[in-house]
Structure 1
Amino acid sequence: MTGKLELTFTVVSEYLFVGSGAYEFDPNHNNQRPDVWYTFYRRNGQICVPGTSIKGAIRAIVEAISNSCISQFRRSREKVDKDHEPCRDQNKLCPACRLFGMTGLRGRVHFSDAFPEGQVRPQIVKIGELWEPRNYSGRKFYEVKRVPQLTDKRPQRNFRFVEAMSEGTCFRATLHFENLSEAELGLMAYALGWKTEKGTFDHAFTPKLGGAKPRCFGAVKFDPARLTVWEVQKNGLLQLRMLEGDAVGAKLVRCMEAASRPETGLFHESSWRRLVEGYQEKTDTCPREMY
Structure 2
Amino acid sequence: MTAARYWVELFDSGQRLGGGFFLTRRYVVTALHCLRGLTSPDGRLDVVLTDGSRLAGEVCRRDEDADLALITIAAAYDVRLSIPRAGTARRGDDWHAPYRPEAIEPVLGGKVDDGTADYPCEGGAVIQALQLTVDQQTGDYSGYSGGPVVTGVPDSAEPALVGILLEQVPDRVSAGRAANVLFAATIGEALSRFDQFHVEHLIDVLDPGGSAKRAELAGTAAAESSFDRVRAWAQRGLLDPSQVAELNFMIAKTALERQLRGDGT
Normalising to structure 1: TM-score of the pair? 0.23
Larger radius of gyration: 1
Normalising to structure 2: TM-score of the pair? 0.24
Flag the structure with higher strand content. 2
* Bigger RCO (CA 8 Å, 6+ sep): 1
